[in-house]
Amino acid sequence: MRIAILGGTGVFGRALAARLHALGEDVVLGSRDANRVLEIATVLGVLGATNQEAVEGADLIILSVPSSAALDTARELADAIGDTPVLCVASDLRFTEKGVEPGRESRSLAEDVAEILSGPVVSGYQSLGAASLLGPDTPDQDVFVCGDESPAKDIALDVGARLVGGHAIDAGPLANSRALEAMTAVLLNVNKRYRTHAGLRVTGLP
């Protein structure tokens, strides 16, 4: 399976690419900066390309660009992405003097991305931090995926299950990504307060 990570030069994109490559996945990093992405991809041992090139032939596209660029990136690549399944891992956040807060009060970023693209869009992995992916051990966490039933959801859950030591959890329809994206703010505040790299586990699962 070929996985294209758009925004692959960012911290999370690089960490995700490294972990997926170690799991044997065919990974291609995408970026607007062709020279930078090729440099980073070479270090990671994966392919590097422009965003436009990266989505060609991909079985799953992971939208890992900054939240401020997610909608513009979706618009620019909508035709190239076509019906390819997309996983949005971004969260819209506000960094204030009081701490990190959710950047949206109603709709999620992933819901807006889904309105732009013609193919299936799911949201997930927001509770999984780059530091956890870069560690030597498999993260002792669960990952969550929100989305309407589609091939994108099935693929995202399958990939997520191999990223962590816990479960890949189907967290319901795409509208639930509002809570999932907001949880990123909660975890970032916990990390800062307790100087850790917090994750999530759900009790009671078989």
- pLDDT per position as a tens digit, 174-202: 999 999 999 999 999 999 999 999 999 99
Is residue 126 within 8 A of residue 190, CB to CB? The reply is no
**Domain-located, residue 202:** no
d(CA 187, CA 127): 7
d(CA 124, CA 144): 5
User: Based on the number of CB atoms within 10 Å of its own CB, is 78 exposed (0-12), middle (13-18) or buried (19 or more)?
Assistant: middle
**Domain-located, residue 205:** no
Write the CB contacts of 206 (distance below 8 Å, at least 6 apart in sequence): none
Range of the domain at 10: 2-194
Is residue 131 within 8 A of residue 196, CB to CB? The reply is no
**Domain-located, residue 201:** no
**Domain-located, residue 203:** no
pLDDT interval class at 40 (50, 70, 90): very high
pLDDT at 106: 86
Query: Percent of the chain at pLDDT above 70?
Result: 100
CA terminus-to-terminus distance, the chain: 28
Tokens of 197: 């790299």
pLDDT at 46: 97
**Domain-located, residue 206:** no
pLDDT at 105: 83
Query: Percent of the chain at pLDDT above 90?
Result: 95
CATH number of residue 136's parent domain: 3.40.50.720
Total domains, the chain: 1
pLDDT at 155: 96
**Domain-located, residue 199:** no
